């Protein structure tokens, strides 16, 4: 498909796929099918703005693979959204869902827009029109969107309502990440960040260490990074650095995350927080810490800055925050890099829980959700660690390899690799 190779994230995904395919001697026909998404939709989304003019937004939905179940993946609103980026993220969702043992395929969507520049009314119109354009391609048995960068539970509520109105009945399973009042799951907001912390615990355990007392830097204090910091802090970690779009903070004695969360609720950003020193993002990435968790956008650790990284463990809370070359460099240096398809899987695991609860109309307590999430994240880490130890491979290669083994078997059983 023309245009897919334009983005670094898609190229990095293909490189990772190729490296792991060689290790497990993946069936060549399976490999060819996984290189390209099944379907890529490019949509012109007209919106009547508050000033009366009509503005056209570029929207995308890429459905990569559905061998294991319905397409599943987030919807992001961001100025840098492109077809190539969305396609790469859709493929990563396929591999993530396979690795985590979920009965779901991979999809992803996005709209090229800065949501901060639109009114709530304009955002609602944008979301409803985008949903209408996607109507025949989504559904609880087809493709199930969820929140991502720039979207939230309100976005999903609008999508649910639009889809239900056009279908003629309420179908809460069409999206996940909804408010609890209309079929959402308890524990969904913190799921990705909590999953990151569960993986940090397992990574430290391989070195005979515990989270309590370990130092942590979190790049990105949004939906993933903030909850990762909250959960890690609650378990005794010393969170010495955090960042967001306004800058970064550092306190060698540890930042009180409760105080920082309250500060950001009042001031929107972390800039100006009085209990830490202001630094820049590159300095945050280079902090001498036990664990670095990049939880913002893709491509933040590259060949240009990788030599400055000092963390012993990197857990990718974001999708594609590190290039393959940078990851290889750190692995050779002895740094454990836990890749995104494992590390940030908590969000899609609890999205799966939400989907299941909507189907059966039986909802779980938050304690049940957290317990079930911990079981899946721990089990998935163990599978990857076992493969890595047995085959002398990096965690990145091993995670993809474990994922591909499940996908390969399913595709061969279904006759999808003639």
* CA distance linking residue 124 with residue 119, whole number of Å: 9
* CA distance linking residue 54 with residue 51, whole number of Å: 9
Residue 19: exposed, middle, or buried by beta-carbon count in 10 A (0-12, 13-18, 19+)?
middle
Identify whether the C-beta of residue 241 lies closer than 8 Å to the C-beta of residue 286.
no
- Which whole-number Å values give the CA distances from 33 to 67, 256, 267, in the listed order? 11, 48, 48
DSSP for 166-199 reads HHTS--GGG-SS--GGGT--TTTTTHHHHHHHHH
* CA distance linking residue 212 with residue 162, whole number of Å: 46
Of 108, 178, 223, 238, the active-site residue reads 108
Q: Which helix H or strand E contains 60, and what residues bound it? A: strand 54-65
DSSP code of 301? B
* CA distance linking residue 322 with residue 340, whole number of Å: 9
- Which whole-number Å values give the CA distances from 180 to 6, 115, 177, 225, in the listed order? 39, 23, 9, 22
Instruction: Reply yes or no on whether 108 is catalytic.
Output: yes
Report which of 187, 184, 189, 118 is spatially closest to residue 157, judged by C-alpha positions. 184
Residue 145's beta-bridge partner residues?
73
Instruction: Tell me the two tokens of residue 314.
Output: 């990197």
DSSP code of 306? G
Q: Which residues are catalytic?
A: 108
């Amino acid at each position: 498909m023309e245009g897919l190779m334009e983005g670094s994230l898609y190229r990095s995904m293909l490189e990772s796929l190729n490296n792991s395919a060689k290790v497990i001697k993946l069936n060549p026909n399976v490999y060819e099918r996984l290189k390209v998404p099944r379907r890529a939709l490019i949509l012109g989304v007209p919106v009547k703005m508050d000033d009366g003019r009509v503005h056209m937004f570029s929207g995308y939905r890429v459905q990569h693979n559905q061998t294991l179940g319905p397409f599943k993946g987030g919807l992001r609103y961001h100025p840098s959204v492109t077809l190539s980026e969305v396609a790469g993220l859709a493929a990563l969702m396929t591999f993530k869902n396979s690795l985590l043992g979920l009965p779901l395929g991979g999809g992803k969507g996005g709209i090229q827009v800065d949501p901060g520049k639109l009114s709530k009314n304009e955002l609602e119109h944008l979301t409803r029109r985008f949903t209408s354009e996607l109507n025949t391609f989504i559904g609880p048995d087809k493709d199930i969107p969820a929140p991502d960068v720039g979207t939230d539970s309100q976005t999903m509520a609008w999508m649910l309502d639009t889809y239900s109105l056009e279908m003629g009945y309420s179908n809460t399973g069409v999206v996940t990440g909804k408010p609890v009042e209309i079929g959402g799951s308890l524990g969904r907001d913190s799921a990705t960040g909590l999953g990151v912390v569960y993986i940090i615990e397992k990574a430290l355990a391989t070195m005979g260490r515990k989270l309590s007392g370990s130092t942590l830097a979190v790049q990105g204090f949004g939906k993933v990074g903030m909850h990762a910091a909250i959960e890690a802090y609650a378990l005794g970690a010393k969170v010495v650095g955090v960042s967001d779009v306004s800058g970064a903070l550092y306190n060698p004695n540890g930042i009180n995350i409760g105080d920082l969360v309250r500060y950001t609720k009042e001031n929107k950003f972390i800039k100006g927080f009085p209990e830490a020193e202001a630094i820049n993002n590159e300095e945050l990435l280079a902090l001498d810490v036990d664990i670095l968790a990049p939880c913002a956008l893709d491509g933040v650790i590259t060949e240009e800055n990788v030599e400055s990284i000092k963390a012993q463990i990197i857990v990718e809370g974001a999708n594609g925050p590190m290039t393959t070359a940078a990851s290889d460099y750190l692995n050779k240096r002895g740094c454990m890099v836990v890749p995104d398809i494992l590390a940030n899987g908590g969000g899609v695991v609890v999205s799966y829980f939400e989907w299941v609860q909507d189907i059966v109309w039986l909802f779980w307590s938050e304690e049940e959700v957290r317990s079930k999430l911990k079981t899946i994240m721990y089990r998935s880490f163990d599978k990857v660690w076992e493969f890595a130890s047995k085959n002398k491979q990096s965690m990145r290669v091993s995670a993809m390899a474990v994922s591909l083994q499940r996908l390969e078997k399913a595709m061969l059983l279904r006759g999808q690799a003639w």
